Amino acid sequence: MNSQILDQLKREKILDLLKTGKRIDGRSLDEQRPLVIETGVIPKANGSARVKLGNTEIITGVKIQLDKPFPDLGDKGILICTAEILPLADPNAEPGPPNEEVIELARVVDRGIRETEMIDLHKLVLIEDKSVIGMFIDSSVIDSGGNLFDACSYASVAGILSCTVPKWEVKDDVPTLVEGVTSKPPIKTLPVSVTMARIGDYVIVDPTKDEESCMDARITITTNSEGNICAVQKGGSDGFTAEQLIQCAETALTVGRKIRKQFEQLM
């Protein structure tokens, strides 16, 4: 049986080590776990990625299909990111409709990609107000080992970068698929999400599952290639000081640069 409760000895060890600036897995406070990205893992999808961030593992598939625009956004294509914790990923995950944690996860991933304007949605329009290209980016957590926010975000970005977009030609006001012609998606910038946890007075980057069970509060900050801060989500049942938050934003930018280099290699 696997219960979610962290044993007291490990909790004490995590807290004791932090006082000396160390972490239980030997990382420094602002160090991420190794990120491994593999793309093209689901050939039937238009784009896909399998991402490992430490013990956390995600599979993302991108489906691209003809769609109708939202009524008030007729000059933009559709972009929808979802995330799901599969019941095989975690002994505490349950099958059935998503709970509030999973919905938050999906929305934070979506917000990071949407608000950085990673994809130029205007370029996905075929006929204004009538016909657009829709991109569905579905992420599945297959092994949960902490910091699902960043892992799902990285898998979604990698999935999008690996995408080939089919070509539709408008003939007599009807979009028709042109077989065998594809293009890269219209990428404007590379979003990088960085999640930090506060445990006591210490803020650590990319918490593991054990560290998450000791944390007081959490923050996810997404930055773009130009160094802007584009999306933020604070979580957990305690808070941060303003100074801590400003420091977090700086950390998100510096840590983000390293991850962005990994993304650039996929382009």
Partner 1 sequence: MMDVKRRYVIPGDVIATGPLRPEQNVFQDGDRMISTCVGISEIFENSVKVIPLTGGYMPKANDLVIGKVIGTSPLSWEFDINSCFVGFLPAQDVFGRDYSPTKDELRQRLDIGDLVAVRIANFDRSRDPLLTVQDRDLGKIDSGELIEISPSKVPRLIGKRGSMIQTIEMATKAIITIGQNGWIVISCEDSEGLLKAVEAVKMIDALAHTPNLTERVKSMLGVVDGENNDTIND
Partner 2 sequence: MTEDGIRCDGRRLDELRNISIKVGVLKNADGSAYIEFGKNKILAGVFGPRDVHPKHMANPDSGILRCRYHMSPFSVTERKNPAPSRREIEISKVIKEALQPAVILKDYPRTVIDVFIEVLQADGGSRCAALDAAAVALADAGIPMRDLVSACAAGKVADRIVLDVNNEEDQEGQADMPVALMPNLGKVTLLQLDGMLKPEEFKTCMQTALVGCKRVYEIQRKALMEKYFQNGEQ
Rounded to 5°, angle at Cα 206 from 205 and 210: 110
Rounded to 5°, the CA angle 266-106-122 comes to 60
Q: Which does 153 bind (CB under 5 to 8 A by kind): partner 2, partner 1, none?
A: none
Q: With contacts defined by CB under 8 A, name the span among 83-91, 199-207, 236-244, 253-261 that binds partner 2.
A: 83-91
Q: Which of 110, 138, 206, 211 binds partner 2 (CB under 8 A)?
A: 138
Is residue 214 near partner 2 by the rule CB under 8 A?
A: no
Residue closer to partner 2, measured from CB, 26 or 97: 97
Closer residue to partner 2 (CB): 89 or 230: 89
- Name the β-bridge partners of 203: 198
Identify the helix (H) or strand (E) that includes residue 194: strand 192-199
Site membership for partner 1, residue 9 (CB under 8 A)? yes
Provide the minimum distance between the beta carbon of 148 and partner 1 in the complex, in angstroms, as a whole number.
23
142 binds partner 2 (CB under 8 A): yes
CB closer to partner 1, 11 vs 123: 11
Q: How far is CA 219 from CA 53, 80, 86, 200, 248, in A?
A: 18, 23, 23, 14, 8
Instruction: Return the ∠ at Cα 48 (arms to 208 and 113), rounded to 5°.
Output: 65
| 8 A C-beta contact, residue 133 and residue 78 | yes
Q: Does 16 bind partner 1 (CB under 8 A)?
A: no
Q: Which residues bind partner 1 (CB under 8 A)?
A: 1, 3, 5-11, 13
